[in-house]
Chain A
Amino acid sequence: MLSHLIKLMWNKRRANGLIFLEIILAFIVLFGVYAFAFYNYDRYSSPLGFSYENSIGLRLDIDDDMDSLAVLGLQERIVREVRTVPGVEAVSFLGPVNPFGGNNWGTGNDDNGFQLFTRMLFADEHFAETMELKFREGRWFEKRDDNAKYPPIVVNGKFMDEYYPNAETLLDSIIILSGDRQVIGVVEDFKYASNFAENEPLTFYPQSGFYSGDRPPFEQMIIRTAPGQTAAVEEPIYNLVTALTKNTDVVIWNMAEDRIKANRPVVIPLVILLIISTFLLINIALGLFGVLFTQINRRRAEIGLRKAMGATPGEVTAQFVGEILIITVAGLLLGTFFAVQVPLLELLPIPPKFFYFGIVAAIATILLIVTVCALLPSRQAARLHPALVLHEE
Chain B
Amino acid sequence: MIELNNISKSYRTDTIETLALQHMNLSVPAGEFLSIMGPSGCGKSTLLNIMGLIDEPSEGTVVLAGREVTDYNGSKVARFRNEQLGFIFQSFHLINDLSVVDNVELPLLYRKLGGKERRRLALEALARVGLSNRATHFPNQLSGGQKQRVAIARAIVGKPNIILADEPTGNLDSHMGGEIMDILTRLNKDLGTTIVMVTHDERMAKRTHRLVRLSDGERVS
Contacts and interface: CB of A to CB of B under 8 A. Distances in A.
Interface in B123-177: 154
Interface stretch (B95-103, B196-204, B205-213): B95-103
Interface of A: 1, 3-4, 7-8, 11-12, 301-302, 304-315, 385-387, 390-391, 393
Query: Interface residue tally of chain B, by bracket?
Result: 20 to 34
Nearest to A3: B115
B109 interface: yes
A11 B73 CA distance: 31
Lowest 6 CB-CB distances: which A-B pairs, in order? A310-B82, A387-B55, A387-B49, A312-B75, A11-B97, A386-B54
Interface in B75-89: 75, 78-79, 81-83, 87, 89
Given A4-B105, A304-B54, 16 more contacts: A3-B115, A301-B93, A302-B93, A305-B87, A307-B54, A308-B54, A309-B107, A309-B110, A309-B154, A310-B81, A310-B82, A310-B110, A311-B110, A390-B89, A390-B93, A391-B45
B91 interface: yes
B63 interface: no
Nearest to B155: A309
Contacts of B109: 1, 4, 311
A199 B75 CA distance: 61
A310 B97 contact: no
A311 B75 CA distance: 8
B87 A309 contact: yes
Contacts of A308: 52, 54, 81, 87
Contacts of A307: 54, 78
- Most chain B CB inside 10 Å of its own CB: which residue of A1, A308, A310: A310
A312 B105 CA distance: 17
Contacts of B97: 8, 11-12
Contacts, number: 72
B10 to A, nearest CB: 14
Contact of B78 (A8, A311, A391): A311
A307 B46 CA distance: 17
B106 interface: yes
16 contacts: A4-B102, A307-B78, A308-B52, A308-B81, A309-B81, A309-B110, A309-B154, A310-B83, A311-B78, A311-B110, A385-B55, A386-B55, A387-B46, A390-B93, A393-B91, A393-B93
Contacts of B115: 3
B78 A390 contact: no
Contacts of A315: 78, 110
B88 to A, nearest CB: 11
Contacts of B102: 4, 7
A126 to B, nearest CB: 78
Chief secondary structure at chain B's binding surface: helix
Contacts of A12: 97
A385 B89 CA distance: 16
Contact of A11 (B83, B87, B98, B107): B98
A9 to B, nearest CB: 9
Nearest to B52: A308
A386 B49 CA distance: 9
A37 B52 CA distance: 57
A309 B52 CA distance: 10
Nearest to B106: A309
A313 B89 contact: no
Nearest to B93: A305
A202 to B, nearest CB: 64
A1 B111 CA distance: 10
Nearest to A4: B109
B42 to A, nearest CB: 15
Contacts of A309: 81-82, 87, 106-107, 110, 154
Contacts of B105: 4
A54 to B, nearest CB: 66
Given A314-B75, A387-B49, A306 B106 contact: yes
A186 B55 CA distance: 82
A264 to B, nearest CB: 53
B83 to A, nearest CB: 7
A387 B54 CA distance: 6
A8 B98 contact: yes
Nearest to B164: A308
A8 B87 CA distance: 22
B112 to A, nearest CB: 11
Given A1-B109, A3-B115, A302 B95 contact: yes
A370 to B, nearest CB: 21
A351 B105 CA distance: 51
Contact of B73 (A313, A390, A393): A313
Contacts of A391: 45
Nearest to B82: A310
A4 B54 CA distance: 24
Contacts of B52: 308
A319 to B, nearest CB: 9
Contacts of B95: 8, 302, 305
Nearest to B55: A387
A313 to B, nearest CB: 7
Contacts of B82: 309-310
A312 B74 CA distance: 7
